Amino acid sequence: MKNLGNLLAVLILSILLMPTIGEAKQLFTDVGDQHAAKKEIDYLAQQKIISGYSNGTFGVNDSITRLQASIMLVRALQLPTANRPDPKLKDIPNTHSGYAMVATVVDAGIMTGKKDGSFAPYESLTRAQMASILVRAFQLEGQTDLAFRDMTATHWATRDVQTLYANNITTGYPDSTFRPNAAITRAHFSVFLARVLEPKFQLAKVCYTPAVEEKQVIDVAVTTLWSKPNIARIIDRPAISHPVDLASWTRQMTYQQKLGLLGKIDTQALYGQEVTILEEKDNWYKIAVHEQFSPIQKEGYPGWVPKSHVATQQANVNACDATIVTANKTLLRHLDGKPFREISFNTMLPVVKEDEKRIYVKTPTNGTKYIIKEDAMTIPSFEHLPKPTAENLVATSKQFLDLPYLWAGTSGYGFDCSGFTYSIYKQHGILIPRDSTVQATHGVAVAKKDLQVGDLLFFAHDRGKGAIHHVSMYIGNGNMIHSPDYSKPIEIIPITREPYQSQYAGARRYLAQ
C-alpha cells in the first residue's frame, strides 16, 4: 500500500512537471523565449539544418565560421555530398572532418577557396560574404537603387546586398549602414537563412531608405533649451541626462527652484524633431528647432542642449506615414513588449506598419518600436492633419486641466502659457509662433466683442498697454483656458477675473472660419 502511494505521488509529480500544451520547448540553453532569433533558430533546428554545441548552447553570439556556414547550406539545400570532386584546398585534405561539406559547396559554386589556395574553414564569415553566398546558393534575383551609407556602388558585394534587400531579407542597421566587413554571428546567419527558406520570416517592405543628406534630430523624449551652456543646476540633472526623466525633474523641484528657471530656459523640443546645429561649446550644442518660429533665428527657435540629446538620423523617411501622439504621454515599447521610453503629447515619428492594436514606428537611432494605437493618430504627413473645429481645440486643451505649469514647457510634462497654446494648435496641424509676444503680432486681430472659441487672448503689463506677458485661449461663454504660472496648474477661469481683465491687451485669431 505504501509502495502504491509512492508510485501515485511520483505519477502526479510527473504530470505536474510535464510541459503544458502550447509551451515552447527550449532547444538551446542560450535561446530563451525572449531571444530575438528564437523562432528562426527553432525552425532551422526542426528542419535539421542546425545543431548546437555539446554543452547544450547554440552559441548565438559566436561568429559563424566558413565551415559552419557550409554545413548549414548543404543541409538547407539538401545537396548530396557523395562523389564530389576534390576541391584541392591545401587546408582541407580528404581526411578533414569537413571535407565532404566543403567539397560540395565548392563544386556547387556556392563558395570558393582563397587566393592562396586555402579555404580557411575556421575563419569568421563577414556580412558581405554572407550576402554573396546566399544569393549564389539560392539563385536569388531582384535589385533596388537603395545604397547603404557604408557600401559604395563599386563594392564587390553591393549588388548581392541589394538583392537581399529586394527579397526582404535585410534592411541593414538603424543607422542606414550594412557593416559589410563585420563578422556575422551564428544567430544572425540563422535569421538570414530562415528568411530565405521561409517567407513568413521575411521582413515587411519598409518605407524608409538610407538618406543622402543626414538630418539632426532630438534623441530624448523632451530636451530643454537653455539660454547658455553649462548653467543647469544639480536639481536639473534629470533634464540634461540621457535618457531624460522630466517627470522626476518637475516633481522634485520646489516652488523656489522652479522660479529659478526663469530666464535660464527658453523652450523645449520633442523626440525626433529636426533641428539645426548652430554652434558648439564643450558638451553642448546651440540648436534651432525647425518647427518653432522665432524672429531672431531663421532656422527656428534657438537654445543650448546637451550634445547627447542630438543624434544624426541617416534614414530618409519622407515616404513613410507619420504618427502623432494624442495622449498626454505614452510608452514606446520594444518589439518584445518591454518598455523603451515614455514620450510626450505631440511627438511625431515615421510609421513602419500598423496592426489592430499597435503602431510600429522608426525611432531616430534605436530601430523599430511600437506604441498602442489608442494613444496616437496616423497621418500621411503633418500637412495632412485634419484642420480643427473650435470644439476640437477646446477638447484637446481640456485634457491638460490640472497639469502643473513649467516655464518654457511644450510637452505633456508641463507647459508655460505660450507653450500651451502653441502645442494645442500644433496637435491640429497649425503651427503658430512659439512665444506669446510673437503670437500677439501674427494671426488676425480680433475685437473683444467679436471673440470666438479658439481665439488667443493676450495680457500686458501697465494695464494692457505695456509688454505682453501672458496668453490664453478663449473657450466660449466668457471663459478662457490657460497655463497661468507656478502657483497654479492649467485652469479655466472667466476672462473678467483680475488681474486679467485689467491687463487685457487684445486677441488674435489663428483658426480659419
CA distance 60 to 374: 37
**Contact residues for 103 (Cβ-Cβ < 8 A; gap 6+):** 81, 84, 85, 86, 87, 92
CA distance 124 to 126: 6
Q: Is the peptide bond before 499 cis (omega within 30 degrees of 0)?
A: yes
* Cell numbers placing 347: 511627438
| β partners of residue 373 | none
CB 102 within 8 A of CB 69: no
In this structure, the number of other CB atoms found within 10 A of the CB of residue 84 comes to 18
Please give the C-alpha separations between residue 448 and each of 96, 503, 506, in angstroms, as whole numbers: 93, 13, 7
* Cell numbers placing 345: 503629447
Please give the C-alpha separations between residue 267 and each of 71, 139, 172, 398, 405, in angstroms, as whole numbers: 59, 55, 36, 22, 13
Of 480, 483, 502, whose CA–CA distance to 493 is shortest?
A: 480
Chain centroid to CA 150: 22
415-453 burial, b if ≥16 CB within 10 A, otherwise e?
bbbbbbbbbbbbbbbbebbbbbbbbbeebeebeeeebeb
Cα within 13 Å of Cα(435), Cβ side = 15
Identity at 371, one-letter amino acid code? I
CB 262 within 8 A of CB 416: no
Q: Which residues are identified as catalytic?
A: 417, 470, 482
The backbone torsions φ and ψ at residue 41, rounded to the nearest 5 degrees and listed phi first, read: -65, -45
CA distance 457 to 474: 7
CB 33 within 8 A of CB 26: yes
DSSP 370: E
Coil/strand/helix, residue 10: helix
446 φ/ψ sector (left φ>0, alpha ψ -120 to 50, else beta): beta
CA distance 341 to 369: 10
Which segments of 103-248 are extended strands (E)?
209-218, 222-226
Q: What share of the chain is helix, strand, coil (3-state, %, to 5)?
A: 30, 25, 45
